[in-house]
């Protein structure tokens, strides 16, 4: 990567690779070593935003060719991940990664006042240097190369800074002069040169260097030098050397951007100071603690002391003395006694606000100093900022969290900083989704949003969002700052990491394998051992929460849950890999969540269903982590366990995606069960090559896995039903009825109801449905009970007992309420709205449809189609055909977006179209539409749909004056369904009209024909 692109095997032998696209692929994957790079990102990057025809298929062929080169030399490093690819190498085996790591480590050591160790790291980094990615001519490579060059320049400056502290400063002047000439806006290089010239007695030239910098910044960028460079200039003018002690008589800044999203916290600080004189703002790095403190202190004459440069607690007094204007030099030849000096500090601060910024690395000393000052000076107030509270008596704390990623404040913060990088930038319909994705994936952390926004200077927002998988490279080298730890996202986290104890750091990095967070029990099960005693895990978690590294969620009932935000988790995953613990932690995670998932899956089929759903909801991301990054066997077991959860929750796309990636087991049970699941999912197959429903049904019957996977009793029958094999449905149902498993037996009865309905045996269908309801109620499965109660209501309505149908549907809603299945609930609401219409309770029906449309979760488009059709029918009942036509137009528009049950929905849209046309007096058009509906109903082969269309045809004949044909069509509907629809006002009115026009005997003759 640094110099000519080269791939070597584990013995150091070169592996030849041919073709610029192959080189580009390996280079792109090497920028994220050991991590999955999504296929869509690779297509975007390798073809510079102009993907070839075939997209992912073309990428697959490129990957196969590249694998061939590697395999010829015994390497299997190019792996497939979930929807992406991985270069399975250690980060240290990628020279660019190792270079950046050594440079960052050297910079950290320099900041920690360890120039000797820093020099060793920096020399090692610079020895590796070569022109980066010279063989790759793509936008991603140019961006990465620019970042690496910037890192190289900073490393050169760090090495000069470190070596100049150990050697004669004059030795480095020529190199610094050359750097400044090459980079006329580089404040770091100019500042270093000014310092070394001053130390070499060349003050006049140092002033000239400053003036050159000032003019270049003003002319080219319209900016002034950074505050620390201006301070250095002032010291030169005064004729004495700069002091390393921090200056703190004013707040940091100046801040040039608006203060966003923290008005509530700002008011809360003032309220807290009404009750105490010590307030601590604590939260993760980059969250905005210093900015909030500066806004509160602004214009109040406060003394602002940044403790971050200090390395010992003793220097806090010196820093505060400097801020208060208390001299620390000897007086009349004697050093001022500490007690007298502290008294002078207290006197100087009397009546003021003292801000102690960044206390976390000197937390005990800062707490002691604050308590002593407050005890000696009763009219002083102290506002501290830290990544953890001071934890002293009388302290009020305000936890500063990240901005809500969905809030207007987060979006506006990104927009404002992006507009600074690219004037005229605004959030539009085209980029809003990408802006919100950036805000979400960066957890609303203000510093991260500012750094990401700065990238808009050279990238589009979607490109920024795509590259967040490499966020530490993306969000570096984009701005200068007086605080080194705020120049990059990695520096912020390095600072927090360095404050952890050994056990804390071990637990923190191990938590990175749990993307869904963890209770103390789960954390102990997965992360304890080897430096983390199991008994200490709850206390270590509390400590990590106090240090703002993990977020704590305390539910009303149950255990507290500890969660890493995404950016710290990515950082800690790198630390886990560096510690060599990644593989063993993945194995522990798999063992824990396979067991938990399988136990929970069993509970989904009984009285503990609601609790089991809550467990899967909480642990979903952790369970999927086993699927994404685990061995095939545990991954497959977790997918099997999750399968019925996906059905209950209506997460069909996820079920289709994850089941497709699971390898088949040797005995075929798992493969057959998951194939049956995919067959009944209401989603399109990804590749269109799924076996037929009949083939899947045959496989499911052969494996005989009902006892190990009870839901197969439902899935197999539905496969046979989809294939139109009614006798096979009955055979599967009877086999299930012979099972010893109560849930399987009840499912068998439900399957008998399905086939009876499909074949027009309405009486048997109702009896079997009622029996299945009783059995599932006894088992305690609320979700299956609700589905069957809703099905039973249809038969009650057909018999004319619409009130009973309404009662049952409301019972189904109550059963679903604790289960929390929005899709199932919405479908019942549509059905309830229809029954209320049939009973003439139009206002209640309207409220029911509105409740579905305005619920917490937006209904799926298919349910919105049915709701629009119901509202259209409502308008017909109110004799408002124009309004009915408007609602029908909404349904037609939504139907174009539907993905599942499209055959059934097409019948319903055509049927309602015919009804609206009839109400408008357009009988000929209604007749043509009824014909289309009849053909569509025949195509899907469902008796209820064919019966409803036959009723529409009967209405058309009646309006044409063809009473005999109308009676025959109405009779066809009854025979198709197995029962006349006595609950339908339209059917009752039509039957009465036909009896009157034909006479009772003639009506019966045609009706039965």
User: Which carries the bigger pLDDT value, residue 338 or residue 854?
Assistant: 854
Instruction: For 570-617, write each residue's pLDDT tens digit.
Output: 889 888 988 888 889 999 999 999 999 999 999 999 999 999 999 999
Is 80 exceeded by the pLDDT of residue 989?
Answer: yes
Pairing state of beta strands 303-306 and 278-282? unpaired
Helix axes 227-238, 187-199, angle to 10 degrees: 20
CA distance 504 to 220: 47
Assigned domain for 315 exists = yes
Instruction: Determine how many CB atoms are found less than 10 A away from the CB of residue 366.
Output: 25
* Average pLDDT estimate for 346-373: 89
Assigned domain for 216 exists = no
pTM of the predicted structure, to 2 decimals: 0.69
Is 70 exceeded by the pLDDT of residue 105?
Answer: yes
Residue in 677, 609, 689 with CA at minimum distance from that of residue 646: 677
* Average pLDDT estimate for 977-1005: 91
Give yes or no: residues 709 and 686 share one domain: yes
CA distance 931 to 923: 12
Query: Residue holding tokens 């002047």?
Result: 173
Give the torsion sign (CA, 727, 728, 732, 735).
positive
Domain boundary among 480, 499, 518: 499
Contact status, residue 862 vs residue 900, Cβ threshold 8 Å:
yes
Assigned domain for 217 exists = no
Joined together, the tokens standing for residue 407 give: 């809030």
| pLDDT for position 337 | 54
Give yes or no: residues 668 and 731 share one domain: yes
CA distance 661 to 645: 18
Work out the end-to-end distance of the chain between its first and last CA atoms, rounded to an integer number of angstroms.
83
Q: Is 278 helix (H, G, I), strand (E, B) or coil?
A: strand
Q: Strands, E, within 739-787: which ranges?
A: none
Q: Is 406 exposed, middle or buried (0-12, 13-18, 19+ CB in 10 A)?
A: exposed
CA distance 41 to 581: 28
The residues, any chain, with a CB within 8 Å of residue 809's CB and separated by 6 or more, are 789, 790, 793, 828, 831, 832, 835
Phi-psi region of 818 (alpha: psi -120 to 50; beta: other; left: phi over 0): alpha
Which DSSP category does 455 fall into?
Answer: G
- Edge-to-edge, what's the strand order for the sheet holding 381-386? 303-306, 353-357, 381-386, 278-282, 395-399
Instruction: For 64-97, write each residue's pLDDT tens digit.
Output: 888 888 888 888 888 776 567 888 888 888 999 8
Pairing state of beta strands 381-386 and 353-357? parallel
> Over the chain, what is the mean pLDDT?
86
Is 80 exceeded by the pLDDT of residue 685?
Answer: no
Instruction: For 897-912, write each residue's pLDDT tens digit.
Output: 887 788 999 999 999 9
Is 60 exceeded by the pLDDT of residue 506?
Answer: yes
Domain boundary among 774, 806, 841: 774
3-state SS string over 349-370? CCCCEEEEECCHHHHHHHHHHH
* Average pLDDT estimate for 465-470: 81
Contact status, residue 898 vs residue 868, Cβ threshold 8 Å:
no
| pLDDT for position 241 | 42
Instruction: Determine how many CB atoms are found less than 10 A away from the CB of residue 657.
Output: 15
Q: Is 492 exposed, middle or buried (0-12, 13-18, 19+ CB in 10 A)?
A: buried
DSSP string for residues in 681-692: SSS--SSS-PPP
CA distance 323 to 335: 19
Query: Residue holding tokens 């806090």?
Result: 316
* Average pLDDT estimate for 949-956: 95
pLDDT band at 702 (very low <50, low <70, confident <90, very high): low
Assigned domain for 601 exists = yes
Residue in 972, 966, 891, 913 with CA at minimum distance from that of residue 938: 972
Give yes or no: residues 628 and 668 share one domain: no
Q: For the ranges 333-347, 632-646, 927-941, which has the lowest average pLDDT?
A: 333-347
Assigned domain for 76 exists = no
| pLDDT for position 476 | 66
| pLDDT for position 703 | 63
Q: Is 731 helix (H, G, I), strand (E, B) or coil?
A: helix
Using alpha carbons only, give the angle 960, 961, 966 rounded to the nearest 5 degrees.
Answer: 85
* Gyration radius of the chain over CA positions: 36
* Average pLDDT estimate for 399-417: 90
Q: Is 279 helix (H, G, I), strand (E, B) or coil?
A: strand
Give yes or no: residues 380 and 285 share one domain: yes
**In the chain, how many domains are there?**
5
The residues, any chain, with a CB within 8 Å of residue 636's CB and separated by 6 or more, are 662, 663, 665, 670
Q: Is 570 helix (H, G, I), strand (E, B) or coil?
A: helix
| pLDDT for position 249 | 47
C-alpha 894: how far from chain center? 27
Assigned domain for 187 exists = no
Helical H segments across 878-984, by residue range = 881-895, 902-919, 923-940, 943-959, 963-977
CA distance 363 to 388: 8
Residue 598: beta bridge partners?
none
User: Which carries the bigger pLDDT value, residue 694 or residue 347?
Assistant: 347
Give yes or no: residues 546 and 528 share one domain: yes
Residue 38: beta bridge partners?
84
Backbone angles phi, psi at 306, to 5 degrees: -90, 115
Give yes or no: residues 514 and 572 share one domain: yes
Give yes or no: residues 484 and 562 share one domain: no
CA distance 365 to 316: 8
Is 90 exceeded by the pLDDT of residue 709?
Answer: no
Q: What is the percent of the chain with per-residue pLDDT over 70, rounded to a whole number? A: 91
Phi-psi region of 353 (alpha: psi -120 to 50; beta: other; left: phi over 0): beta
CATH number at residue 322: 3.40.50.300
Give yes or no: residues 505 and 493 share one domain: no
CA distance 405 to 633: 36
Joined together, the tokens standing for residue 724 give: 């139109």
Assigned domain for 562 exists = yes
Q: For the ranges 342-356, 727-741, 966-980, which has the lowest average pLDDT?
A: 342-356
User: Which carries the bigger pLDDT value, residue 361 or residue 775?
Assistant: 775
Give yes or no: residues 285 and 383 share one domain: yes
User: Which carries the bigger pLDDT value, residue 666 or residue 803?
Assistant: 803
Helix axes 652-660, 632-649, angle to 10 degrees: 160
The residues, any chain, with a CB within 8 Å of residue 856's CB and separated by 6 or more, are 822
Contact status, residue 618 vs residue 543, Cβ threshold 8 Å:
no
CATH number at residue 554: 1.10.10.10
Is 80 exceeded by the pLDDT of residue 986?
Answer: yes
Q: What is the percent of the chain with per-residue pLDDT over 90, rounded to a whole number? A: 42
Q: For the ranges 103-117, 501-515, 559-573, 834-848, which has the lowest average pLDDT?
A: 103-117
Contact status, residue 50 vs residue 33, Cβ threshold 8 Å:
no
Is 70 exceeded by the pLDDT of residue 967?
Answer: yes
Is 70 exceeded by the pLDDT of residue 14?
Answer: yes
Give yes or no: residues 639 and 680 share one domain: no
CA distance 591 to 634: 8
Contact status, residue 706 vs residue 741, Cβ threshold 8 Å:
yes
CA distance 844 to 32: 57
Please list, residue by residue across 67-91, b when 16 or more beta carbons sit within 10 angstroms of its beta carbon and e when fewer do. Answer: bebbeeeebebbeebbebbbbebeb
| pLDDT for position 434 | 92
The residues, any chain, with a CB within 8 Å of residue 921's CB and separated by 6 or more, are none
CA distance 310 to 319: 9
Phi-psi region of 133 (alpha: psi -120 to 50; beta: other; left: phi over 0): left
Give yes or no: residues 425 and 440 share one domain: yes
CA distance 802 to 449: 57
Assigned domain for 669 exists = yes
Joined together, the tokens standing for residue 914 give: 């015919």
Residue 345: is the preceding peptide bond cis (ω within 30°)?
A: no
Joined together, the tokens standing for residue 715 give: 């899935």
| pLDDT for position 940 | 87
Q: Whole domain around residue 705: which residue ranges?
A: 664-751+764-774
Helix H or strand E segment including 162? helix 139-164
Is 60 exceeded by the pLDDT of residue 528?
Answer: yes
Domain boundary among 725, 741, 774: 774
Phi-psi region of 713 (alpha: psi -120 to 50; beta: other; left: phi over 0): alpha
pLDDT band at 17 (very low <50, low <70, confident <90, very high): confident
Give yes or no: residues 613 and 639 share one domain: yes
| pLDDT for position 75 | 84
pLDDT band at 477 (very low <50, low <70, confident <90, very high): low
Residue 254: is the preceding peptide bond cis (ω within 30°)?
A: yes
| pLDDT for position 243 | 40
């Amino acid at each position: 990567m640094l110099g000519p692109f080269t791939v070597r095997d584990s013995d150091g032998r070169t592996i030849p690779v041919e073709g610029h696209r192959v080189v580009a692929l390996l280079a792109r994957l090497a920028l994220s070593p050991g991590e999955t790079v999504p296929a869509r990102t690779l297509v975007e990057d390798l073809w510079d935003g102009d993907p070839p025809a075939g997209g992912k298929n073309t990428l697959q062929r490129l990957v196969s060719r590249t694998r061939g080169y590697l395999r010829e030399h015994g390497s299997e490093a190019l792996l497939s991940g979930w929807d992406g690819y991985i270069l399975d190498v250690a980060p240290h085996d990628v020279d660019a990664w190792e270079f950046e790591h050594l440079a960052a480590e050297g910079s950290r050591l320099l900041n920690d006042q360890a120039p000797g160790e820093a020099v060793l790291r920096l020399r090692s980094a610079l020895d590796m240097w070569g022109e980066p990615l010279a063989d790759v001519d793509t936008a991603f490579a140019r961006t990465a190369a620019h970042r690496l060059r910037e890192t190289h320049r900073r490393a050169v400056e760090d090495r000069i800074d470190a070596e100049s502290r150990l050697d004669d400063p004059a030795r480095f002047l020529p190199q610094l002069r050359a750097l400044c000439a090459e980079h006329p806006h580089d404040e770091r290089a100019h500042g270093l040169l000014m310092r070394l010239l001053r130390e070499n007695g060349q003050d006049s030239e140092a002033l000239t260097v400053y003036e050159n910098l000032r003019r270049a910044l003003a002319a080219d960028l319209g900016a002034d030098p950074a505050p620390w460079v201006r301070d250095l200039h002032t010291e030169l003018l005064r004729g004495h050397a700069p002091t390393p002690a921090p200056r703190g008589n004013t707040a940091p800044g100046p801040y040039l951007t608006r203060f966003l999203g923290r008005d509530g916290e700002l008011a809360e600080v003032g309220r807290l100071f009404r009750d105490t004189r010590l307030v601590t703002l604590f939260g993760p790095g980059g969250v905005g603690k210093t900015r909030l403190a500066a806004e509160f202190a602004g214009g109040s004459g406060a003394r602002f002391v940044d403790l971050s440069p200090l390395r010992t607690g003793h220097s806090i007094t010196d820093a505060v003395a400097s801020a208060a204007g208390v001299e620390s030099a000897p007086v009349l030849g004697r050093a001022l006694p500490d007690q007298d000096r502290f008294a002078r500090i207290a006197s100087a601060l009397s009546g003021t606000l003292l801000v102690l910024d960044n206390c976390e690395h000197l937390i005990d000393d800062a707490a002691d100093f604050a308590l002593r000052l407050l005890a000696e000076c009763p009219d002083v107030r102290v506002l501290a900022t830290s990544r953890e509270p001071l934890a002293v008596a009388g302290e009020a704390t305000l936890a500063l969290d990240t901005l809500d990623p969905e809030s207007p404040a987060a979006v506006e913060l990104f927009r404002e900083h992006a507009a600074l990088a690219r004037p005229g930038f605004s959030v539009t319909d085209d980029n809003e989704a990408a802006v919100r994705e950036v805000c979400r994936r960066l957890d609303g952390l203000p510093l991260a949003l500012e750094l990401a926004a700065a990238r808009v200077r050279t990238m589009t927002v979607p490109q920024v969002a795509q590259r967040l998988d490499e966020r530490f490279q993306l969000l570096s080298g984009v701005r200068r700052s007086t605080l080194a730890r705020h120049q990059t996202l990695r520096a912020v986290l390095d600072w927090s990491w360095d404050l952890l104890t050994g056990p804390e750091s071990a637990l923190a990095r191990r938590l990175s394998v749990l993307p869904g967070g963890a209770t103390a029990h789960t954390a102990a099960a997965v992360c304890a051992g080897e430096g983390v005693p199991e008994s200490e895990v709850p206390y270590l978690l509390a400590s990590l929460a106090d240090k703002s590294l993990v977020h704590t969620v305390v539910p009303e009932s149950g255990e507290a849950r500890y969660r890493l935000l995404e950016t710290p988790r990515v950082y800690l995953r790198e630390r886990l890999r560096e510690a060599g613990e990644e593989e063993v932690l993945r194995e522990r995670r798999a063992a824990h969540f396979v067991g938990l998932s399988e136990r929970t899956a069993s509970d989904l089929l009984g009285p503990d269903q609601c609790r089991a759903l809550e467990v899967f909801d909480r642990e979903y991301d952790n369970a999927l982590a086993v699927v994404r990054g685990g061995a095939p066997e545990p991954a497959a077991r977790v997918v099997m366990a999750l399968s019925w959860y996906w059905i209950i929750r209506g997460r069909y796309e996820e079920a289709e995606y994850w089941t497709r990636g699971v390898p088949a087991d040797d005995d075929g049970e798992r493969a057959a069960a998951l194939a049956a699941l995919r067959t009944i999912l209401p989603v399109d197959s990804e590749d269109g090559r799924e076996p037929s429903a009949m083939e899947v049904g045959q496989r499911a019957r052969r494996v005989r896995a009902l006892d190990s996977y009870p839901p197969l009793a439902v899935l197999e029958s539905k496969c046979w039903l989809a294939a139109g094999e009614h006798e096979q449905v009955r055979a599967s149902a009877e086999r299930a009825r012979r099972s010893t498993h109560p849930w399987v037996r009840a499912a068998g009865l439900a399957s008998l109801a399905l086939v009876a309905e499909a074949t027009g045996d309405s009486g048997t269908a109702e009896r079997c449905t009622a029996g299945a309801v009783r059995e599932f109620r006894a088992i305690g499965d609320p979700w299956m009970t609700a589905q069957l109660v809703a099905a039973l209501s249809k038969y009650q309505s057909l018999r004319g007992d619409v009130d009973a149908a309404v009662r049952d549907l409301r019972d189904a809603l109550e059963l679903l309420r604790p289960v929390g299945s929005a899709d199932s609930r919405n479908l019942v609401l549509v059905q309830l709205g229809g029954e209320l219409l049939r009973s003439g309770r139009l206002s209640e029906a309207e409220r029911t449809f509105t409740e579905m449309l305005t619920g917490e979760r937006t209904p799926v488009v298919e349910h919105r189609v049915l709701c629009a059709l119901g509202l259209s029918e409502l308008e017909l009942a109110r004799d408002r055909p124009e309004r009915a036509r408007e609602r029908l137009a909404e349904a037609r528009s939504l139907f174009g977006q539907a993905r599942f049950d499209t055959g059934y929905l097409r019948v319903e849209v055509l049927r309602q179209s015919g009804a609206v046309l009839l109400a408008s007096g357009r009988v000929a058009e209604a007749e043509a539409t009824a014909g289309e509906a009849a053909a569509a109903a025949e195509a899907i082969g469902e008796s209820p749909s064919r019966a409803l269309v036959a009723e529409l045809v009967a209405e058309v004949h009646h309006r044409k004056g063809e009473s005999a044909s109308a009676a025959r069509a109405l009779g066809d509907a009854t025979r198709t369904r197995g029962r006349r629809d006595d609950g339908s006002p339209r059917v009752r009115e039509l039957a009465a009209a036909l009896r009157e026009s034909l006479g009772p005997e003639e009506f019966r003759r045609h009706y039965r024909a």
